[in-house]
A = this chain, B = another copy of it.
Amino acid sequence: MNAVILSTGDELVLGQTVDTNSAWLSQQLAAIGCAVAAHVTIADDQAVIQRAISEAAATADFLIVTGGLGPTLDDLTRQAIAGVLNVPLELSESALAQITEYFRSRGRPMAAINRVQAMLPRGANLIENKHGTAPGIDAIYKTGTHSCRIFCTPGVPSEMMHMFHRSIAPQLSAAGGGGVILSRTLHTFGIGESIIGEMLGPLMDRTRNPSVGTTVSGFGVSLRINARFSDRNAAERELDRTSKECSAVLGALIYGQDEQTLAGIVGELLLSAPDGPRSVAVAESLTGGLVAKMLTDVPGSSRYFQRGWVTYSNEAKTQMLGVDPDLFTRHGAVSEPVVLAMAAGARRQSKADYALALSGVAGPDGGSPEKPVGTVCIALEHPTGALARTFRLVGDRFAIRDRSAKTALSLLRYQLLGISSPF
């Protein structure tokens, strides 16, 4: 069972947008044992799309086409499918009803050009889109004895992902035979890739199955474990075994796996604290709301996070958190005494069990010889005391802010685990 992924869009072949859909789809297909033979990316040109569909469908069992289902003139996938199948486009009453309902339920007017999205190649089936106006297309292309099932989805990643999970994956799983590739990703933060690699040693041998590789992502290092077995039970068992071996080597450096985030793990630790649920408040200068944003990205975070302060000026730090103005004069706004005072003010006012505070120089301007861009102070006040750390982080403004926020969450995580942080 093999598949080709075809992405359409001028913005892709012009390099204005990086195609992330194909990688995502490949991961999903691998997980259900469908090998991906190729990704092909082409422009919004009907003749080119038709030729690419014909070529891919001639050998692949499945073809997934993303993009080109919107309502505008540069959306040409439905016309191309009709052209390849040599059938006319027809108005699908059920598609029209779905699109009409999509607009009605949102209280928005439906533009006349959205009607074109209800056109389907004759004989093709509709794939419902619960997250946008463009229905997908499910068609079969036959050449001689070979037949290829073609699924078309919108290019908008969220719509494509929902449609894949809901309507395409079940069909592929049903059609699939043997062999699976199961993957798991283990996440670390705060330690370099080469040190992780040295610690893992022979676990990273390329001939090993399951294999273990490292990638740098989100300013942390993640371990990717791939298990290729003919049997799903064997794959699951070996994936578990290798995960445990990696965990035995890296210990608490691993904070979570797959979709888990540092903020989500911190939330779980707060809720499951031995003496009952705990709460956290944040006071942010340099990160300007990013730590609070990460905490509240997590559904249900209101159970342990209620308050945050963004104090971007010294006056705000004094008026909102009660920081003694003398501290700015004596130590500067980016200093351990100031972040300790910010954390104390946030914890006192919120009555939270833990309070994090951050101040620093995110750049590109504002650095000095003594405190260059990347200088970051983080404090954590907890029920039995407080700690503060100063870091010298590298990277641009985005990197420094992101690393700072994750470093603060890591400090809280180690505190909740009751072990000292490695940084």
Contact = CB atoms under 8 A, between A and B. Distances in A.
Looking at A73, A204, A211, the one whose CB has the most chain B CB atoms below 10 A away is A73
Contacts of A289: 284, 289-293, 295-296, 308, 310
Interface stretch (A30-38, A268-276, A323-331): A30-38
Given A295-B288, A310-B309, A13 B42 contact: no
Q: DSSP class of A's interface residues: helix, strand, loop or mixed?
A: mixed
A133 interface: yes
A121 B152 CA distance: 41
Interface stretch (A17-25, A163-171, A245-253, A408-416): A17-25
Interface in A162-180: none
A88 interface: no
Given A288-B305, A307-B310, 8 more contacts: A44-B206, A72-B213, A106-B392, A288-B293, A288-B296, A288-B308, A289-B310, A307-B316
B37 A22 contact: no
A310 B308 contact: yes
Interface stretch (A193-201, A337-345, A380-388): A193-201
Given A41-B38, A72-B197, A30 B14 contact: yes
A97 interface: no
Interface stretch (A111-119, A138-146, A230-238): A111-119
B293 A193 contact: no
A75 B23 CA distance: 21
Given A27-B16, A112-B198, A296 B310 contact: yes
Given A24-B15, A204-B74, A305-B312, A392 B113 contact: no
A421 interface: no
A71 interface: yes
B17 A215 contact: yes
Contacts of A114: 194
Contacts of A14: 26-27, 30, 36, 181, 183, 224, 226
Nearest to A3: B13
